[in-house]
């Protein structure tokens, strides 16, 4: 079978194209050749995090890969058969673990047996969703589609030192996904969150949490807000650190939405907490069921699902637009129609007719 050619310079022109293409190629058994990889990034080509994404998907799908080297701008991926078991990967830097998971999680849903996946790298790093977003928001959204997995955070890893350890367990891969109606959020029922600080004073985590809670309560008086803090005693802190961050999420009638922010040198803890709350409140104000991260993440899952999904996104990000285009190229049978919106960075409603892909064999 001749590989499908995917141009890595389209849309956002970054790693999103690579991750979505790999996942769909592995599942559908369709060879792909990705050219112009990360063409719009300051350092084009495969970086260490992307190498790990390719290796992870290749391992769980028995794929053969050509062009897998640091800086490569072209890659050919020839999928084999999916397999379960235990897998271990080390990014070797503070590269994002959650972005590696974006590539491999769709594939694990269709594994022929239980899977345990350990990845080492960055858990809370810039330009990617933090691990707590995957633990407390994405996992709950995918449960709506019948996909249940457990994310175990063994150790956090911040930029620039990394050293994070995450284990993902999929004891019973579903083998098929149900369509989801995630269009309107509905009324807000409660807020929760987790604020952490490693190799930093306890008050950093506490101040982040207080700032987020104060802002949320000012917009949603009377709605319960519970934000936990995570901190370690000096001498008992296993992290390479230092680093801090916070994720807050809202339970609504029909969904769960999240907002996040990372600490940085010279950035007040109050600003970190306020940023996370502001992102969440901004996305909630649209009335849509999916926040800015989930708005793009769920698109490939919906295209594979059985039935018609409705995805209401708080923002049509360039990542979301790119995922739509990649899915159109690799799964032309999936029906995708923008029912509302279509303007970048504005709310949108996407109808997706999934192909009811099921585990092969």
Q: Which run of H or of E encompasses 158? A: none
Does the annotation list 102 as a binding residue?
A: yes
Question: Is 173 within 8 Å of 110 (Cβ atoms)?
Answer: yes
Give CA–CA dist 38/314, Å, rounded: 25
- Residue the block writes with tokens 């019948």: 146
Closest by CA to 47, choosing from 12, 15, 23, is 15
Strand order in the sheet with 308-313: 181-182, 308-313, 348-353, 335-340
Q: What is the DSSP letter of 46?
A: -
Distance of CA 5 to the CA centre of its chain: 24
- Residue the block writes with tokens 């939405």: 257
Of the residues 50, 196, 293, 319, only one is catalytic, namely: 319
Give CA–CA dist 201/234, Å, rounded: 9
Distance from the first to the final alpha carbon of the chain: 20
Residue 319 catalytic? yes
Give CA–CA dist 206/270, Å, rounded: 9
Give CA–CA dist 223/208, Å, rounded: 19
Cα–Cα distances in angstroms (integers) from residue 290 to residues 40, 282, 299, in the given order: 27, 12, 11
Give CA–CA dist 96/81, Å, rounded: 26
Residue list, annotated binding site for ATP = 102
Q: Which of the residues are catalytic?
A: 319
The binding site consists of: 102
């Amino acid at each position: 079978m001749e590989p499908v050619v995917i141009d890595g310079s389209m849309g956002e022109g970054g790693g999103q194209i690579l991750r979505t293409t790999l996942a769909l190629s592995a599942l559908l058994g369709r060879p792909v050749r990705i050219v112009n990889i990360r063409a719009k990034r300051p350092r084009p080509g495969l970086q260490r995090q992307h190498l790990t994404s390719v290796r992870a998907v290749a391992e769980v799908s028995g794929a053969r890969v050509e062009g897998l080297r640091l800086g490569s701008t072209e890659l050919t991926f020839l999928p084999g058969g999916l397999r379960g078991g235990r897998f271990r990967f080390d990014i070797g830097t503070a590269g994002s673990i959650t972005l590696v998971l974006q590539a491999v999680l769709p594939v694990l849903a269709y594994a022929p047996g239980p899977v345990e996946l350990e990845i080492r790298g960055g858990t809370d790093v810039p330009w990617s969703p933090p691990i707590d977003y995957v633990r407390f928001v994405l996992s709950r959204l995918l449960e709506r589609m019948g996909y249940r997995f457990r994310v175990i955070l063994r150790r956090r890893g911040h930029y620039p030192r990394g050293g994070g350890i995450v284990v993902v367990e999929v004891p019973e891969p579903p083998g098929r996904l149900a369509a989801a109606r995630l269009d309107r959020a509905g009324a807000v029922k409660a807020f929760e969150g987790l604020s952490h600080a490693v190799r930093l004073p306890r008050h950093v985590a506490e101040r982040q949490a207080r700032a987020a809670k104060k802002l949320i309560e000012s917009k949603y008086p009377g709605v319960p807000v519970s934000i936990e803090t995570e901190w370690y005693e000096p001498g008992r802190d296993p992290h390479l650190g230092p680093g801090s961050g916070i994720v807050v999420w809202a339970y609504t009638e029909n969904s769960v939405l999240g907002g996040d922010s990372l600490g940085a040198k010279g950035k007040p803890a109050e600003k970190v907490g306020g940023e996370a709350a502001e992102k969440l409140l901004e996305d909630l104000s649209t009335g849509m069921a999916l926040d800015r991260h989930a708005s793009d993440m769920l698109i490939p899952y919906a295209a594979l699902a059985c039935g018609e999904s409705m995805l209401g996104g708080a923002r049509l990000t360039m990542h979301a637009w790119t995922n739509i285009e990649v899915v159109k190229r690799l799964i032309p049978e999936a029906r995708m129609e923008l029912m509302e919106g279509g303007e970048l960075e504005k709310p949108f409603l996407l109808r997706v007719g999934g192909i009811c892909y099921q585990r092969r064999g």
